[in-house]
Structure 1
């Protein structure tokens, strides 16, 4: 969704900091999302683009990590550079700032407690095995539609207790939030999610079950029950959060293993290395970016960003910054043996509440795919396709074996 014309440069933005960079259509992003973003490396730590109504972009890893966790000078209320999206979506807890967001986030975190993630592991394994058994005899598949868009959504929809058959109609909503194509207004997008969720929210409030929404809504907010409006905003937040990020992660992991046969061989020969390999692959292929709005002026990197400005923080430019990670573009499974301070799942007060679930799903996917599919590679006659956005993702990944 490229802007029609660049916004006028504000007076406080030095001309030397202006770049022509559209986060929804970076140069070459349809072929290589990561290379497209790396074109911003090596220059100032903060640049300004007039695309998408004008906003700052942090380009240096240390600044990105520092600002991502800054909840005093920055707010998450804007949500994204898409005009009006934040005001319309009004997510809980994602768009709340400390201290208001703490009791809501605590309730959500209790819903995602480790014992619940562990309990989902057999289902992830079973769904993965069934899909693999179906595609293996074909000698190849378009991975995104055959696997990546199925497993995470099946698990998430099972987790919240809605029909898994609804995946086909819900998946496009996640894509419109993170990579909008203009076919839906932000109001239409919110209303589509709310219309779907309303009967489930009402039921969970009246008659809680053992699903994720029920677990969260059973936790009092500072001694009181959730209101319907709060519950709706929370369920809306989690629905959108569960529809896209892990799909993108699966695609990038599969693409890497398809390109690097040696890494495939390593993990086939020693499955004990898969947890560390998962962490390293998550670091190497980050696709999530967030938008913050400034609540007061900030002087940083030789420029003044004004209260009300929007600031875009791409995890890719932190995780692939050689000042933050040694040889960052090289995948080194041993790197994942010790804790790595990457920003793939965010940092600070708004770190992804589903990070543990996403990591578990990725590990099980790698285990089952390598156990069930012979050595595989990217189809040389059908190149990969990607699309950038607040979550960048492969749209086509043809694998053969």
Structure 2
């Protein structure tokens, strides 16, 4: 990629956003970057730019022609793979989204209500009698993963293997060469796994997303094997990661802010608003884009080929848009956050994510209304969010 010289108005840092740090330090770092300048030059990972303010981040998301999704990590500006539909642009992306949209629509998600609620109750009831839990391992990784595996038609007994691969792809930290090697190895393993599953669904279709995707057409032709594998990899990463990490942030906040926990217990009708506020205050995803032409962001020159990092929490905690943006206000209104992204690549699974989060909070606070953070908790984050081993331990009286 280009090694554009930094303009005077663009400060320079050297920051590994995949580094494992105590939970909260990374989001505070992005808060400081936003206060410092609207655009930061980061020399880490071959060099890239970090956009720090709401309006500029939103503008990049909405300008998909100039800022391509063909590269979505600053570590790899010229990928030889494409996660579908995330790493597609233009008409090909629109065709995939058009066929996937009905499968993740509000109506489709409504049809999952009973199954999702039954799963939440089952897991929480098994935990409630114990008086304590490792929240990420016992609930946050188990509950949404069941929903994803059911949608994809995958065996629940393979969950531990899936979570290991997901952690290697999305949360591993360290030197760029080593992290790239581990991500590649895990991606190859996931690809080989799904190749076998796709072959099985071709021979014997089921009522699952993989079987439905086999029937998709792009430009009037059946979806290729390579594209099906790429689609499965993206579903795998999204389905096993984002809701789990958001649950971790949510319950860590509630366990350390008993007034907010009590507000939800006393008034469950507050839960939808509370979810939106948690999503805003602790937005977890840090997407990237690739500049396809020489341009400017916030007055700073950016050259074709440069990678652009777009931390969503930098936008959603911007005081220019949200009053007291660093404070959690469960009844905040309006709350026009972009925690699910913006533009043509806005999160396809946002309706399902909201449903899973709402049901989790409803059922947990019905069954375990009083809980606290155990003293042995030492939550850490990598890649902007809590990973599968988030070290959040909760306890309550039985």
Task: Identify whether the pair has TM-score above 0.5, normalized to the shorter chain.
Answer: yes
* Alignment correspondent of 1:245: 242
- Are 1:335 and 2:332 counterparts? yes
Q: Which moved more, 1:269-278 or 1:157-166?
A: 269-278
- Are 1:355 and 2:350 counterparts? yes
- 1:165-221 deviations in Å (ceiling 9; x for gaps): 111000122222222234643432221111111122123344432112223333433
* Alignment correspondent of 1:320: 317
Q: Does the Cα contact within 8 Å between 1:71 and 1:97 map onto a contact in 2?
A: yes
Which of residues 17, 30, 44 in structure 1 aligns to 2:37? 44
User: Secondary structure at the residue paired with 1:334?
Assistant: coil
* Alignment correspondent of 1:110: 102
- Structure 1 length normalisation: TM-score? 0.91
Q: Does the Cα contact within 8 Å between 2:6 and 2:41 map onto a contact in 1?
A: no
- Count of residue correspondences: 390
- Structure 1 residue runs of 5 or longer lacking an equivalent are 1-6
Which of residues 182, 185, 189 in structure 1 aligns to 2:186? 189
Counterpart CA distance in 1 for 2:183 and 2:131 is 41
- 1:128-169 deviations in Å (ceiling 9; x for gaps): 212222222222111011100111111101110010111100
- Are 1:263 and 2:255 counterparts? no
Which of residues 357, 361, 372 in structure 2 aligns to 1:366? 361
User: Secondary structure at the residue paired with 2:50?
Assistant: strand
Q: Does the Cα contact within 8 Å between 2:289 and 2:309 map onto a contact in 1?
A: yes
* Alignment correspondent of 2:18: 24
Q: Which moved more, 1:184-193 or 1:304-313?
A: 184-193
Q: Does the Cα contact within 8 Å between 1:48 and 1:54 map onto a contact in 2?
A: yes
Q: Does the Cα contact within 8 Å between 1:178 and 1:391 map onto a contact in 2?
A: no
Q: Which moved more, 1:216-225 or 1:172-181?
A: 216-225
Counterpart CA distance in 2 for 1:157 and 1:165 is 10
- Structure 2 length normalisation: TM-score? 0.91
* Alignment correspondent of 1:4: none
Counterpart CA distance in 2 for 1:320 and 1:254 is 19
Counterpart CA distance in 2 for 1:391 and 1:255 is 12
- Are 1:224 and 2:221 counterparts? yes
Counterpart CA distance in 2 for 1:391 and 1:332 is 21
Q: Where do 4+ consecutive residues of structure 1 move more than 6 Å?
A: none
CA gap 1:32/1:96 in 2 versus in 1, 3 angstroms: same
Structure 1 vs Structure 2 CA RMSD? 2.2
Superposed counterparts of 1:115-130, under 5 Å: 115-130=107-122
User: Secondary structure at the residue paired with 1:299?
Assistant: strand
Which of residues 389, 392, 400 in structure 1 aligns to 2:395? 400
Which of residues 340, 360, 370 in structure 2 aligns to 1:345? 340
- Structure 2 residue runs of 5 or longer lacking an equivalent are none
User: Secondary structure at the residue paired with 1:42?
Assistant: helix
Counterpart CA distance in 1 for 2:166 and 2:76 is 17
- 1:362-383 deviations in Å (ceiling 9; x for gaps): 000000100111311112x223
